[in-house]
Every structure is written in structure tokens, then in C-alpha cells.
Amino acid sequence: GQQLNQSPQSMFIQEGEDVSMNCTSSSIFNTWLWYKQDPGEGPVLLIALYKAGELTSNGRLTAQFGITRKDSFLNISASIPSDVGIYFCAGQGIGSSNTGKLIFGQGTTLQVKP
């Protein structure tokens, strides 16, 4: 079945630093989504990507849909303490067997030192 590999698993950075995380799939995806989860809460959607090569920004966040359609990355610029949380990539593969099936990566835990 489809698998998403997200890296790094965790990051501990200084406030003000830029952050980059990525996600790769075992098969071609037609959608990439990036979420942030605070402890004990449901994930919140940050960015949605629909086209290969697409580059989308949301404030200090930038995400790209890889040209091969098998990867995506998320960058956070000038990190602040409230960026702390778990970041997940998610996506849906192509083909009728994957219709509607939204799967998630393992998450990247981000800690920011003030």
C-alpha cells in the first residue's frame, strides 16, 4: 500500500531560525496537504497543494509539490515559540483504489528554544 515517509522525525531549533521538513511517498500523489497539531488537539490544515511544481505560501510557511509528484516539503521561516507542535504531511495517491483514501506521514515534532 501507499506509504509516506516524513523527515526529520524531530527538530530542536533556536527562535528565529528557518526550518525545513519533507515528505516522500512510495507512489505518485495527486494532492499534498500539510497540517500542524498542538498537544491533545486535532490537526489544523496549513497548506494544500494540487499541482506538480506548485509553490504555495501561508505567512511564514511555504510548501512545494515536488515535480516527480512523489514528494513535498514545508519551510517555516523565522521560527517563533508558537510554531512548536507536530507537523504532518498528508496526501492521496492516484488510481481508483486510492480514491478518497487520505493518508498521513509519521509527523515532525518541532521544538523552538526562545
Residues making contact with another protein (CB under 8 A): 1, 4, 6, 31, 33, 40-45, 48, 50, 88, 90, 92, 99-107, 109
Task: Name the residue nearer to another protein (CB basis): 4 or 63.
Answer: 4
Taking the C-alpha atoms of residue 16 and residue 53, their distance in angstroms, rounded to an integer, is 27
Shortest distance, position 24 Cβ to another protein, whole Å: 14
- Phi/psi region, residue 82 (left: phi>0; alpha: psi -120 to 50; beta: rest), is alpha
Shortest distance, position 40 Cβ to another protein, whole Å: 7
Q: In this structure, what DSSP letter does residue 113 have? A: E
Task: Name the residue nearer to another protein (CB basis): 37 or 75.
Answer: 37
**SS3 state at 98:** helix
